[in-house]
Amino acid sequence: MSETAIGGGFDVVEVLKRLPHRYPLLLVDRVIELVPDQRIRAVKAVSFNEQFFQGHFPGAPIMPGVLQVEALAQAAGVLAIETLGLRDSGQLVYFMAIENAKFRAPVTPGCLLQLDVDFVQKRARVCKFAGKASVEGKVTCDVTFTAMIADAPSSS
């Protein structure tokens, strides 16, 4: 693919065409910039209406760190799907490993969580990524993770 950014990013409707995730687990609302083979910048608008805030934590709502990692992984999935030409292929991007996850600041309702993910290594079936989530320029989470490309499970 070209090394130029996909013009202007795209909205959640286009995200839904690339990811199998649906509410309540779709954690990418918009792609701001995507440069195939290199990086993606996406956002998640964190709303008080998120189901996880009911129990994490009542009276002091904080987005779970594991969901920040999942949001970064979903952004990486969009990057991999665009880079490897997997859209409508029936193949999915699956987690293989999560390494060096660090949680640096809480994410609360009303935040716009920025998701920045870079390719670290890319092979035919395995990709490694470095991700960083932030709110207003302050890093909330950074992580390295590996994913594999495989066929979707059969629905039998």
How far is Cα 11 from Cα 17, in angstroms, rounded to an integer? 10
* Residue 21 falls in the annotated catalytic set: no
How far is Cα 60 from Cα 11, in angstroms, rounded to an integer? 30
- Catalytic pick from 56, 95, 118, 122? 56
How far is Cα 53 from Cα 82, in angstroms, rounded to an integer? 32
How far is Cα 126 from Cα 66, in angstroms, rounded to an integer? 22
User: Contacts for 59-67 with beta carbons within 8 Å, 24 or more apart?
Assistant: 61/108, 61/109, 62/106, 62/107, 62/108, 63/106, 63/107, 63/108, 63/111, 63/113, 65/101, 65/103, 65/141, 67/27
CB 142 within 8 A of CB 134: no
Q: Which residues are catalytic?
A: 56
